Amino acid sequence: MEIKRRDKNDIVIFDVEGEIRRTDITEATLHELVKDQLEHGHKHILLNFDRVEFIDSFGVGEILASYISTHNLGGKLKIARISKKLYLVFQITMLTKVLEIFDEEESALQSFLKE
């Protein structure tokens, strides 16, 4: 897994690439990276999964932990361009009711601006 960070309009965007799974842990996990940004005062986080091939339950756990951390600090975590399969998993687990998920990065960014 490879995670790249970029900023746009005070929104931190994490571009995730590869597979997010328990057996493929990087030096810093997604949750640690998000927490790091939150500690630096960045409370608007967007996770772009456009190039993610696979996410297992560990990966979903990372997303949820990131969501809780952001939420607890009064921030917002949104997700864009997830695969159809992951979307189905989120629907079945009813996480679509909790997480804000967008088809496109642009529409996600726009939603931050509207708040």
Partner 1 sequence: MRTGRRYPRFPSLPGVKPGEERPAVLLFFFFFLITAPFSIFKSIRDASFLTELGSENLPLAYATAFFVGLAVALQAKLQTRAPKRFILSAGLLFFSLTGAAFALLLRISGSWMVLAYWVWANIMVVSLMTQFWMVVNEVFNPREAKRLIGFIGSGGILGGIAGGLLTGFLSVRFPLGIMFLGSVFLLAALPVVMKLTASSQPAGEKTELCPAEEEDLPGVKRTEGFHSCFRTVLHDPYLRLLAGMVMLTGLLSTFIDWQSKAVIERTVSGSLTAFFGWFNAGLLVFSFLLQLLGTSRIVNRFGIRSLLLFYPLIILVCTVGLSLWPVLGLAVALKGSDKSLSYSINQSARELLYFPVPPRQRVRAKIFIDMFLNRLSRTAGAIVLLAVFALPWLPAFKTVGLLSILALAVWVGLNLKAASAYVHIVKEKLRGRWDRGDRMVEATVDVDFTKTVFDLLESRRRSPELFSLHLFDLIRKKKLTAEVRGMLLSEPGDARFSALGGLFDAGAEGATAASGLETLEADLEENVREIMGLDVYRQVMEEYLARALEGKGKEDRVTRMEIAKALGFMPSRSPLVGRLGNLLEDEAEDVVRYALESAGRLARRDFIPAVVRRLEHPRLSREAEEALEKFGPRVTGTLLDILLDPSEPLETRKKAASVLGRIGGQEAADGLLAELAAAPEDLREAILDALDRIRSGSDEIRFDREAVLARLEEQFRRTYRWFLSLSPSGTGSARRAGGEDHALRSGWASGFVLGIFKLLGLIHSREDVFKAYKNWLSGTRESVAYALELLDNSLSKSLRDSLFPILDDHSLRERLRLFRGRLKSAGGMKP
> Where along the sequence are the contacts to partner 1 (CB under 8 A)?
56-57, 60-61, 64-65, 67-68, 84-85, 87-89, 91-98
- How far CA 33 is from CA of 25, 87, 107, in Å, comes to 13, 23, 23
> CB neighbours (10 Å) of residue 109?
19
Alpha helices in 10-104 (DSSP H): 30-39, 57-72, 84-92
CB closer to partner 1, 74 vs 92: 92
Angle between helices 30-39 and 57-72 (to 10 degrees): 10
Of 10 and 103, nearer to partner 1 (C-beta) is 103
CB atoms within 10 A of CB 86: 20
Q: Give me the least distance between CB of 85 and partner 1, in Å please.
A: 6
Q: How far is the CB of 38 from partner 1 (least distance, A)?
A: 16
- The least distance separating partner 1 from the CB of residue 20, rounded to whole angstroms, comes to 12
**Taking a C-beta distance cutoff of 8 angstroms, is the pair 42, 73 a contact?**
no
Nearest approach, Cβ of 108 to partner 1 (angstroms)?
A: 17
Residue 10 or 38 having the CB closest to partner 1: 38
Query: Which residue, 37 or 66, has its beta carbon nearer to partner 1?
Result: 66
